[in-house]
Every structure is written in C-alpha cells, then in structure tokens.
A = this chain, B = another copy of it.
Amino acid sequence: MERILLGHGSGGKLMYQLIREHFVPKFELKTLNDSAVLKGLNKGNIAFTTDSYVVSPIFFPGGDIGELAVYGTVNDLAMVGATPLYMTAGLILEEGFPLDDLKKILLSMSTAAEKAGVRIVGGDTKVVNKGKADGIFINTSGIGMIPKGIDISPLKVKPSDKVILSGPIGNHGISIIAERNGLSFNPPVVSDTAPLNELVKKMLRKTKKIHAMRDPTRGGLATTLKEIAVDSGCCIVLEEDLIPVPPGVKGACELLGLDPLYVANEGILIAIVDHTVADALVKTMRKDPVAKDTKIIGEVKDSPSGMVLLKTSIGGTRIVEMLSGDQLPRIC
C-alpha cells in the first residue's frame, strides 16, 4: 500500500507529483501559483490563498509560527500582485498546549497583521487529544484585491526576461534547523520572515512588466524556478556567482550537507520581468530595507524548454531539478 512520506510535504518533486496526480484533476488548480485569482467577482479580480503552518520548533531565531502564518499568506497574495486585505486563522491545538505560548502566538499574529496592513476577520479552533498533534498547527487563508491591469502569471514568462532575486537565500531554513538541533553558527543565522506586500506595491508602481513572481519557500529557489520553467515552457539560466548566500548559511550547508538552492526562505521574492525594465526595477527594490540586496541573478532563454540551468563558479553548467525527497521537513 502506498503511504504518505515526509517528502510529500517538502515542496519538492514528491509533493509536485502528489498534487499533479491527485489534486489537480479534482480541484480547479490551473497553474500552481501562490494564490488563486478569481475573475469577475464583482467586476474586479480577487486573490484567494491558503496555507497551513506546521513549523517545528514553533519559536525560532527571527520569528515564530504565528508571524510566519500571517506573513506567509500575505506574501502568497502579494505574489499575484494583490493587496492583502482579509485573513482567517484556523488553529489546531494539542491538548496540554501551554496557554502562555498560545497567547504569545496570537499576539505575534495580530502584530504581524497590523504590520502588513491585513485584517484577521475570522477564525476557528480545534483541540485534539494529547499525542494527536504537535502543540499547534495554524492555517491562514487570505483574500486580496488585484488592481486593474495587473496580470502576473508564469504563463507570461518569455525569452530575454530577467530573473530578479530580492535578497540572500537560505536564512529561514537554516535558522529552523539550527534551533531544532541546538546548533549555533557564526555569524548567527536568523529567519528572514517578513511581509513583502509593501515591496510588491512599490514594484508594481514602477512597472507593469512583471511577468512572474514567487516567494521561494519550501523547496527553495531551485524548486520554485523549476516550477516556473515548467509552467512557462522556457529555460531559466542562473549565474551561481550572482546568487547571494550569506556566510552563516554557506557554513551551515557545508556542515549539514545541504544545498542552499533548496533551503526555504520566508522573506524574499523572485520576479521574472521584461529585460527593458529590469535595471530600473532593481534600483527601486533596493530602496526598500526588505530588499536592499536585490540582484539580477539570471535570464530566460527559449530552450531547453522547462529546464533550469546553473552556470557554476568554475565555468560548468549544472541542471537544476526540483527538490527530491525531503531535505528539511516542517520548515514552515
């Protein structure tokens, strides 16, 4: 009998197959984008998204599950160009979970919602017997309005587009694994958890020529770009030297045998944009503290279709696949 593996939740190849095989035929999931875009509802477009958060540990350097649950959904809405407006919070609690921890998490959620300018308007709480969950799981769902004229979709990606990355990779995943295993790195690694909606608003004010946008969470930069390559039918070529990997992340990855390209992030985005606007957009983005290290890290070619290629520092070219198996379970 086939059973669910941890890798089915990893954001990588196994999850992709599970979703393609079993979810897409049953539900109306067209491209695996961060939010559903609902057209013609009241003559405007509305974005609608959901995410469950099962991160372990629930408190980690740079954030906690509550903040993560709010910003994660805010960012999913922002990635389709929506202004996040409303959110619901569905909590599953394990019997015996400390009320003080719950209070801390709720405070963290409301602070994050305020910071991101989103309103939590509905909720649900379930409690399961001791041993039947792990402290707390949080689902957040969000809706946002998409301004007229905005249509961001991997289907719009085309050859000659530039690939922009808003900051260094790997901080979130490594901060979780460090906390989980009692490791400390020098320099210390802190989660990049942050809301990206203000950044996106500024980007869209600068240009409408943003073709695709994603935040590389589970599965990391590699898996997210591979999904865009597959959906667009184009080839994405990256320059390894241009991808910023902080020294702490680099050291941790070497020690733990991880590839930073596959480590989860919670406060950066990838934008694939028309080459004519790329340089100006990078300048605009760098003015926002959340994206001060923005860089162009690659470009889009027409073939080989659906591939991501990485030009390595030593002059080779590596094929970048989706995360396979399960590098880091319960990272978000």
- Give residues in A with beta carbon < 8 Å to B: 1-10, 15, 18-19, 22-23, 26-29, 35-36, 38, 41-44, 46, 48-54, 56, 85-86, 88-100, 102-103, 106-107, 109-110, 113, 119-129, 131-134, 137, 139, 141, 143, 145, 329-330
Provide the residues of chain B in CB contact with A120, threshold 8 Å: 26-28
A29 and B122 CA atoms in complex are apart in Å by 6
A96 and B4 CA atoms in complex are apart in Å by 5
Task: Tell whether, in the assembled complex, residue B28 and residue A99 are in contact, meaning their CB atoms are under 8 Å apart.
Answer: no
Q: 19 A-B residue contacts at CB 8 Å?
A: A2-B99, A2-B100, A8-B125, A9-B125, A9-B126, A15-B125, A19-B123, A23-B106, A26-B109, A29-B121, A35-B122, A36-B122, A38-B86, A38-B143, A50-B88, A52-B90, A53-B126, A92-B137, A128-B330
The residue from B28, B126, B139, B330 contacting A90, defined by CB atoms under 8 A apart: B139
Provide the residues of chain B in CB contact with A29, threshold 8 Å: 121-123
- The copy count of this chain in the complex is 2
A100 and B133 CA atoms in complex are apart in Å by 22
Provide the residues of chain B in CB contact with A36, threshold 8 Å: 86, 88, 121-122
User: Which of A9, A122, A145 gathers most chain B CB within 10 Å?
Assistant: A122
Task: Tell whether, in the assembled complex, residue A88 and residue B48 are in contact, meaning their CB atoms are under 8 Å apart.
Answer: yes
Task: Tell whether, in the assembled complex, residue B97 and residue A127 are in contact, meaning their CB atoms are under 8 Å apart.
Answer: no
Nearest CB of chain B from residue A23's CB, rounded to whole Å = 6
A42: nearest residue on chain B (CB-CB)? B42
Known: A9-B128, A145-B41. A92 touches B90 (CB 8 A): no
Provide the residues of chain B in CB contact with A98, threshold 8 Å: 1-4
Nearest CB of chain B from residue A181's CB, rounded to whole Å = 15
Provide the residues of chain B in CB contact with A133, threshold 8 Å: 132-134, 137
User: Which of A18, A46, A99 gathers most chain B CB within 10 Å?
Assistant: A99
Nearest CB of chain B from residue A154's CB, rounded to whole Å = 16
A47: nearest residue on chain B (CB-CB)? B122
Provide the residues of chain B in CB contact with A329, threshold 8 Å: 127-129
Contacts A23-B123, A27-B110, A28-B119 known; 20 new A-B pairs at CB < 8 A = A1-B98, A2-B98, A3-B95, A4-B95, A4-B97, A4-B127, A5-B95, A5-B127, A6-B127, A22-B102, A27-B106, A42-B42, A42-B44, A48-B121, A48-B141, A51-B90, A52-B90, A127-B329, A128-B329, A129-B330
A111: nearest residue on chain B (CB-CB)? B26
A136: nearest residue on chain B (CB-CB)? B4
A22 and B15 CA atoms in complex are apart in Å by 35
A28 and B88 CA atoms in complex are apart in Å by 10
Task: Tell whether, in the assembled complex, residue A139 and residue B96 are in contact, meaning their CB atoms are under 8 Å apart.
Answer: no
A66: nearest residue on chain B (CB-CB)? B26
A34: nearest residue on chain B (CB-CB)? B122
